Structure 1
Amino acid sequence: MFPLQIAENIYDVGVQDWAVRDFHGYKTERGATYNSYLIMDEKITLIDTVKAPFTEELLANISKVTPLDSIDYIVINHVEPDHSGAMPVLAKACPKAKFYITMQGKKEAIQHYGDIFAFEVVKDGATLNIGKRTLTFASMAMLHWPDSMATYSEHDKILFSNDAFGQHYATSKRFDSEVNQDELFYEAKKYFANILWPYAKLIGNALKKLGGLDIKMIAPSHGVIWTEHIADILRCYSEWGSGVQDGSLVIAYDSMWGGTEKLARAIARGAANAGIVVKVFKMGATPNSTVAAELFTASGFLAGSSTLNCSMLPNMGSLLIYLKGLGAKGKKAAAFGTFGWAGGAQKDMEELLAKSCFDAVEPGFNCKWTPQQAEIEAAEKYGYDFALKLKAE
């Protein structure tokens, strides 16, 4: 079976990882892909590689199009191992190949794999003529590693965008128009929230840099290739990068004996009665990355936990540490929960919320043991009032 030709003399030689379900804490329920693109021109060029366990499959895909030792250039847009894992094997299998990479990428590759490559360091705006085509390299530093760059082929009007515009989404179809649109844009949003959120303020400048390019195709390193919905994903990135919010409230909680769960349900009822969209997640049953995807465009966040050994339950600690890493800016937040003979969960949650850069950590709601009817009603009122604060923004 011959690799898919995505444009004239350009082949998709990457792989689908149908089985992966965890990407350093990011739960990939729909799997992932490691995209690699082979350009057949006067100088045969490979754009990006794959995760190390899939190296043999990459080599087999390339060999169906051209002998491995015919490759002249290998462009490494990003050296994180899911992109670069096949580099050491390629260095041996493609003896004449030069590896085009940023200076930061070179340093990281040598540290990770050893000094075994024929590197050509490229700067922002540098070009490489490969025959009919001239490739232009655009620095995308901190989107999402310091070494990151994108590669543009003016001849084909294709942007090989690296992590930008990607999705962890394994599918037998390779183009955006061929897959379920709700799934696609959800996975694109989830990817942005869990990978690019800490660097969202850099998106605007990156889009300006790309704005002068005539782009007919975006070929990312993960997920499907954009052809029909390029304007839509560019608009989404513009909105996501500027912190656009939808006014919704995310409630995430864990409960020991059901008291905190009762409060979560009561608070959610109150907030919904104020006319906003509320989404409720019980931790342990919900991956942190799913909460992050929903919180990313929400306006408010409520974290709930019973007290265990003077602190929060472990599942809530995991979530709040995860959100701290993402730097969840621009939202109101608060903590709630129940305790027995001593508290502590609310204080610890509030400290982590503050460290996560939430705009405001509001006064929370807490009660002892199982909430009684009066406390349930007070929790509903608390949710209603918190929702009104979100609506007032």
Structure 2
Amino acid sequence: MKKIALADNVYWVGAVDWNIRDFHGYSTYRGTTYNAFLIIDEKVTLIDTVKKPYKSELMHRIHTIIDPKKIDYLVVNHVEMDHSGSLPEVVEAINPEKIICSKMGHKALMQHFHRPDWPFHVVAPGEEISLGTKTLSFLETRMLHWPDSMFTYLKEDQILFTSDAFGEHLATSERFDDEVNQDVLMHEATKYYANILTLYSPLVKKLLAKVQEMQLPIKMLAPDHGVVWRSNPGKIIEAYNRWCNHQGNGRALVIYDTMWESTKKMAKAVAEGLHEQGVEYKLLDLAVNHRSDVMTDVLEASAIVLGSPTLNNGMLPRMADFLMYMRGLRPTNKVGASFGSYGWSGEAVKMMNEILKEMNIVVCHPGVKTQYVPEHAQLGECVELGRTVGKAMQAMMAGEQVESLA
């Protein structure tokens, strides 16, 4: 196996998962990687492990560089199973002198593996450990996106090992950002943030401010998924700064599901109103767009318009599923509205508006309901809804206050 070096005596020893297509409800059409890193020094150090089925791949990569039994320290940046699933077998194989983790990492490791006999070394934020010629320091990053998360900084090589931050689910034969298609890279990085980190945006904001305050020189960002950012780590940091501040791109999304095409007709009329107002839009039918792909568009959108018929006094199941998913991630700094058809009750529009309001999305129109099949006048109301959303979105982006109308 070819050795993949990040710097002198610093190697990638992770695994590539080409076949995974679902990550707890998040579609991973391009697979993923489970990154681990090996530092050769007086104290040989392994940073993170891999998902349990990939333990042999990890150990084989280490074997090409050094006898695994020569590893002295094992750093656990994150306890989630895609990074620590192989930990018991790895610990048994290498018998490390220290297992380095955060205070919350120690608690999580005990709760997962119940091994008080392991040689834990709990590090405090800012603590340094000398490996010989190289030095590690640690930055606690609680709730990015688990309580145990931390970053590890390799001082001499200016590499920040960032656990689940700055990553993307992307299986490739290449290991660095400058070796892959940039459009694909940024799409997958956006999707990763949208579906994993949006909820934690206030903490991301604080973390970016903390790193700036510390004035850490960073040559590389080495996340636990995807490629290592070596050519331009500032590119992904700048993107995270936009995303954590919920900066919209001026686009509106019309997200809908339909039963007998009536709501679909309404969706197209709403889109026509947005177009007349000069707003770029996307029509996203939940029957053909996975929730995590829709959420990727939601991250940077400035307006969200929801459409669903009423079924059994509620929404269609796909809309209910998507809204539960989006509500958990809590995107904000947007305007929104709802519409839908119904047969005899018509609760869906009110329900969708309530969920938008729960997420602090400004509902700028009370909504449009149509019984059975919309006629010309009712489609005109949908066009007007689209215009209203477009105007409200443009006002919000201009810094004006927009009032809720629902």
- Specify the TM-score bucket, using the shorter chain as the normaliser: over 0.9
Secondary structure of 1:302 counterpart: strand
What corresponds to 1:162 in structure 2?
A: 163
**Structure 1 stretch displaced more, 90-99 or 311-320:** 90-99
| Alpha-carbon contact 2:364-2:392 (below 8 Å) kept | no
Give 2:271's aligned residue: 268
Structure 2 SS opposite 1:391: helix
Distance 1:360 1:345 in 2: 15
Give the SS at the match of 1:100. Answer: strand
Which residue pairs with 1:74 in the alignment? 74
Q: Structure 2 length as normaliser, TM-score?
A: 0.94
Per-residue deviation at 1:98?
1.4
In 1, the alpha carbon distance for the partners of 2:277 and 2:364 equals 20
Q: Alpha-carbon deviations, 1:21-74, whole Å to 9, x = none?
A: 111111111111110001111111001111111112111111121112111001
Pair 1:248 & 2:251 matched: yes
1:62-211 alignment, distance < 5 Å = 62-115=62-115, 116-211=117-212
For the 8 Å contact 2:364–2:388, the answer to whether it is kept is: no
What displacement does 1:361 show?
A: 6.2
Report SS of the residue matched to 1:150.
Answer: strand
Counterpart position of 2:401:
none
Q: Which runs of 4+ in 1 moved over 3 A?
A: 359-362
Is 1:323 aligned to residue 317 of structure 2?
no
For 1:361 and 1:194, the matched residues in 2 are separated by 26
Cα deviations by residue, 1:307-341 (Å, 9 ceiling, x for unpaired): 11111100000000001100122212221110012
Partner letter of residue 394 of structure 2? K
Change (3 A) 1:215 1:360: same
Q: How far is the alpha carbon of 1:93 from its aligned partner? A: 0.5
1:292 and 2:295 aligned: yes
Kept in 2, the 8 Å contact 1:91–1:97? The answer is: no
Output the amino acid matched with 2:82.
D
Residues 261-270 or 242-251, more deviating = 242-251
The one-letter amino acid paired with 1:76 is V
Deviation for aligned residue 1:392: 0.9
Instruction: After TM superposition, give the deviation of residue 242 of structure 1 in Å.
Output: 1.6
Residue matched to 1:381 = 384
Question: Equivalent residue for 1:358?
Answer: 361
Please state if 1:305 is matched with 2:301.
no
* Kept after mapping to 2: 8 A contact 1:326/1:356: no
Residues 247, 298 of structure 1: 8 Å contact kept: yes
Q: Tell me, in whole angstroms, the C-alpha distance in 1 between the residues paired with 2:254 and 2:356.
A: 13
Equivalent residue number for residue 21 of structure 1 = 21
Distance in structure 1 (CA, Å) of the matches to 2:128 and 2:284 = 48
Distance 1:119 1:260 in 2: 58
- Of residues 218-227 and 234-243 in structure 1, the stretch that sits farther from structure 2 once superposed is 234-243
Q: Secondary structure at the match of 1:162?
A: coil
Query: What amino acid is the match of 1:247?
Result: G
> Structure 1 residues 96 and 47, CA, compared in 2 at 3 Å: closer, same or farther?
closer
Confirm or deny: 8 A CA contact 1:2 1:65 kept in the other structure: no
SS at match of 1:366: strand
SS of 2:331's equivalent? coil
In structure 2, distance between residues paired with 1:350 and 1:239:
26
Question: Percent identity among equivalent residues?
Answer: 42
Secondary structure of residue in 2 paired with 1:337: strand
Asked whether the equivalents of residues 336 and 389 of structure 2 are also in contact (C-alpha less than 8 Å), the reply is no
CA RMSD of aligned residues (A): 1.3
* Uncovered stretches (5+) of structure 2, i.e. residues with no partner: 397-406
User: What do residues 268-291 of structure 1 show as CA deviations (whole Å, max 9, x unaligned)?
Assistant: 111022111111111131111111
Does the CA-based 8 Å contact 1:325-1:356 persist in structure 2?
no
Q: Determine helix, strand or coil for the equivalent of 2:304.
A: strand
Q: When the two structures are superposed, what TM-score results if normalisation uses the length of structure 1?
A: 0.97
1:147 shift after superposition: 1.2
**What amino acid sits opposite 1:325 in the alignment?**
G
Report the Cα distance in structure 2 between the residues aligned to 1:305 and 1:241, rounded to whole angstroms. Answer: 29
Superposed CA deviations along residues 207-249 of structure 1, whole A, max 9, x for unmatched, are 2322211111111111111011212111111111222111211
Distance 1:64 1:359 in 2: 56
Equivalent position amino acid for 2:47 in 1:
I
Contact 1:350 1:361 in 2 (8 A): no
Structure 1: gaps (5+ residues): none
Q: Which amino acid aligns with 2:169?
A: H
Task: Describe the shift of the 1:361–1:51 C-alpha distance in structure 2 as closer, same or farther (beyond 3 A).
Answer: farther
8 Å CA contact 2:356–2:362 kept in 1: the answer is no
Which amino acid in structure 2 is aligned with residue 78 of structure 1?
A: H
- Aligned twin of 1:36: 36
Q: Distance in 2 between matches of 1:392 and 1:56?
A: 56
What is aligned with 2:234?
Answer: 231
Gap change, CA 1:359 and 1:342, over 3 Å in 2: closer
- Higher mean displacement: 215-224 or 229-238: 229-238
How many residues are paired up? 393
Query: 2:247, 2:333 within 8 Å by CA — same for their partners in 1?
Result: no
Equivalent position amino acid for 1:30 in 2: R
Q: Distance in 1 between matches of 2:210 and 2:352?
A: 40
When residues 362 and 51 of structure 1 are mapped into structure 2, their CA distance, relative to the original with a 3 A threshold, is farther
